[in-house]
Amino acid sequence: MRHFSTLQRLGTSSLFLLPALAAAAVDAGDRLDPIVVTATRAPQTVDEALSSVTVIEREEIERLQPQQFTDLLRGRAGIGVADNGPFGKLSSVFMRGSNSGHTLLLVDGVRMGSATTGSASWQYLPPSEIERIEIVRGPRTSIYGSDAIGGVIQIFTRKGLEGPPRVNAFVGGGSFNTREFGAGVAGGTRDTRYSVSASRFDTDGIDVLTGVGDDDRDGYDNTSLSGSLSHRLDNGVELFGNLLYSRGTTEFDADETDPATFAVVGPYSPAENDYVHSALRGGVRGFVTPRWQSQLAIAQSRDELDSFEGGTLADRVTYFDTRRDLIDWQNTVRVHADWSWVAGVDAYEDHVDASTAFAEDSRYNVGVYSVLQGALGHNDLEASLRLDDNEQFGSKTTGQLGWGRRLSDAWRVRASAGTAFNAPSFNDLYFPGFSNPDLDPEESRSVEVGARYASGAWFLDAALFQTEIDDLIAFDMTTFSPQNINEARIRGLEVEVGYQAGDWSSRTSLTALEAEDRATGNELPRRSPFSARVDVDRVLGAWSLGGSLLGQARSFNDTANADRLSGFATLDLRAAYAIDPQWTLEASVRNLFDRDYATVRDFTGADYNQPGRGAFVTVRYQQQ
């Protein structure tokens, strides 16, 4: 209850803000409402969704000029990010205060993540290959299965459009000896669409851990390839395929205070991880009847990590290579003018090939799902139900109900309640000496009430939520194994305000969070009770100028709340100049005031450093 006053203050402030936004929007221009598919597996506008949704389009990605994917997430409504340094270092994404493994990552519909750790490798996603991002906050287990207690983030790679081939390319560089370049081509005919692009990002980085290991910079490189191809046959059936493939190296400091590492490599040894991160998907879709569309897809994702340590980096010490094979049969039926039904079956099997001998190296999961959505008068309704059969923990049923009502052309209110679960990872269950094969899945119950205002150039979305998680998996230092010992209660308030008209665009996100371990009364580690982000941009003729202000309050690095991480605020500035319709020059300064801050601390007490002030320049070409 320590932060409930913060929630009250933010909620009250938001209520006073709404009338002002409504009045300001009366004379604003029309606003194009984006389409999302992640919330229910079926297309709907953001205003129609009965969940909290944020969409980041390619235009916004280029305007923000991110150096890494988590730059696009940090400070967004309901999202916290903690990382062990910049540029390819381990990153954790906390959606609505839940664990990092409670956020499902999809790439073009492909389920991503490491089977051993149970979390997605956010740090390896290349911003240059991403066309759009859909963020759905709140449980989606009743639609997608395990891993979605906090929500779902889906990434869509670039796609081709009908028209002649159009080339795009960029080259840039800047501080920390950062270099990047890439090129692609996209186009298509009425029946065939294609896109292919490749990029390279390389940086010397910074010394991530001061006083631990060597004092050299810990670099990172990423070489990525993405592609898409679709073809519609004469009978209307469409064949499609997508690929995102990344590989590279990220360096880190081997720690002499870690007995296991010290015994192998000696003191202050350099070390690096070689990784592969990929998603491949292909399938067929078409209309069985005018009201029934069916899609069958097969896919594979890989999350591979090989660690090399030693003075010459010649010896591979450990490797954890995981593969996930997937199949999904989805059917969308228009049962009535106002009602649609999505139903299907998906199955996946995880495989582990590791230097560590696990008691089990594979397991399968089969899920049957159903989503019904429609309208009764002025009320919008949504119901989803899913049954999962997992090789390790058996059957699990989850469900969710949603309701919405349009109060006027501009205002809409919504409420939802649902259950979710998260299956223990291979490390939790099978890692020799530090696992527990008797673990139960984590289970949750969530409720949410929200309101959305959208008129002209303005929009506002606000949501109050609460999630209770039972059998939370935590590492027990007395048994040196994970145990189902904790229960957590997470509640909070999200507010997102946006404006886009004429030369101006802006988006403000605020999150107030109370994430409590019910067994101890302590805060869950690395969750800040308050965070905010403000992005503002303006076009001035051929120029575009903008900035991003990001701030978050203090958090705790440990479950005992004895290790405090200070709050911080950073300011980024950016500019772009349109040389002509095809060529653009971009420049940015990140962390303008050179703030020192950390979101994670090492077990030795050393902070994982974040970059100081840095400047970057990019030249971009887009064929018209």
| Burial environment of residue 322 by CB neighbours within 10 A (0 to 12, 13 to 18, 19 or more) | buried
Tell me the three state secondary structure of residue 195. Answer: strand
Which tokens is 539 given?
A: 């076009």
Identify the three-state secondary structure at position 527.
coil
- Spell out the domains of the chain, with CATH numbers in brackets: 4-622 (2.40.170.20)
Q: What mean pLDDT comes out for the span 99-103?
A: 92
Quote the distance between the C-alpha of residue 88 and its chain's center: 15
Both tokens of 198, joined, read: 């490749």
Q: Residue 217, exposed/middle/buried by CB under 10 A (0-12, 13-18, 19+)?
A: middle
Q: Which pLDDT value is given to residue 6? A: 40
pLDDT of residue 473: 86
Q: Output the pLDDT for position 321.
A: 95
- What are the DSSP E strand ranges found in 266-392? 270-289, 292-309, 315-336, 339-354, 362-376, 379-390
Which residue from 211, 220, 245, 213 is spatially nearest to 70, judged by alpha carbons? 220
3-state secondary structure 541-576: CCEEEEEEEEEECCEECCCCCCCEECCEEEEEEEEE
Residue 314: predicted pLDDT: 54
Given a cut of 60, whether residue 260 has pLDDT beyond it is: no
pLDDT of residue 514 exceeding 80, the answer is yes
Contact between 297 and 109 under an 8 Å Cβ cutoff? The reply is: yes
Task: List the one residue out of 38, 52, 49, 138 whose CA is nearest residue 96.
Answer: 138
pLDDT higher than 70, residue 16: no
pLDDT range class, residue 253, cuts 50, 70, 90: confident
Q: How confident is the model at residue 265, as a pLDDT?
A: 37
Q: Give the mean model confidence (pLDDT) for residues 86-111.
A: 95
What are the angstrom distances between the C-alpha of 495 and each of 60, 115, 323? Answer: 19, 34, 38
- Tell me the C-alpha to C-alpha distance, in Å, between residue 292 and each of 43, 385, 596: 14, 20, 56
Of 378-382, 536-540, 602-606, least confident by mean pLDDT is 602-606
Residue predicted with more confidence, 154 or 316: 154
Structure tokens at 395: 């059957």
In the chain, what is the straight-line distance between the N-terminal and C-terminal CA atoms, in Å? 56
Instruction: Indicate the average pLDDT of the chain.
Output: 89
**Eight-state DSSP code of residue 410:** S
Exposure of 403 by Cβ count < 10 A (0-12 exposed, 13-18 middle, 19+ buried)?
A: middle
> Is residue 156 within 8 Å of 130, Cβ to Cβ?
yes
State mean pLDDT over 54-69.
95
Q: What is the pLDDT of residue 13?
A: 40
The residue-averaged pLDDT of 96-122 equals: 94
In one-letter notation, the amino acid at residue 186 is A
Contact in structure between 72 and 128 (CB atoms under 8 Å) = no
Confidence of residue 259 (pLDDT cuts 50, 70, 90): very low
What's the pTM? 0.91
State yes or no: pLDDT of 15 exceeds 80.
Answer: no
Question: What one-character DSSP code corresponds to residue 102?
Answer: G
